[in-house]
Amino acid sequence: VTIVSLTIIAVVITRSDSSSDDLLASEPRKLALANDRIATLATKATSTAATPKPAPSPAPFAAATATHTKKFFDGKPIPPEKKAPSKGFTAVNIYLHNETGAQLFFRLGRKNYNTIPSGYTARQKAFANEKWSVVDFEGNVYKSFRVTHYNQFINLK
Contacts of 41 (CB under 8 A, 6+ apart): 6
DSSP state of 5: -
Q: Specify the pLDDT at position 124.
A: 97
Contact 83, 147 (CB under 8 A): no
* Distances 10 to 13, 31, 38 between C-alpha atoms, Å: 10, 9, 12
Contact 97, 119 (CB under 8 A): no
Q: What is the pLDDT along the chain (157 residues), one digit of tens a residue?
A: 545 444 444 444 444 444 445 544 556 666 667 677 777 666 665 555 555 555 554 444 333 333 344 578 888 899 999 999 999 889 999 999 999 999 999 999 999 999 999 999 999 999 999 999 999 999 999 999 999 999 999 999 9
Q: Specify the pLDDT at position 109.
A: 95
CA distance 141 to 106: 10
What is the CA angle 74-96-136, rounded to 5? Answer: 120
* Whole-structure pTM value: 0.55
Q: Specify the pLDDT at position 136.
A: 96
Contact 153, 77 (CB under 8 A): no
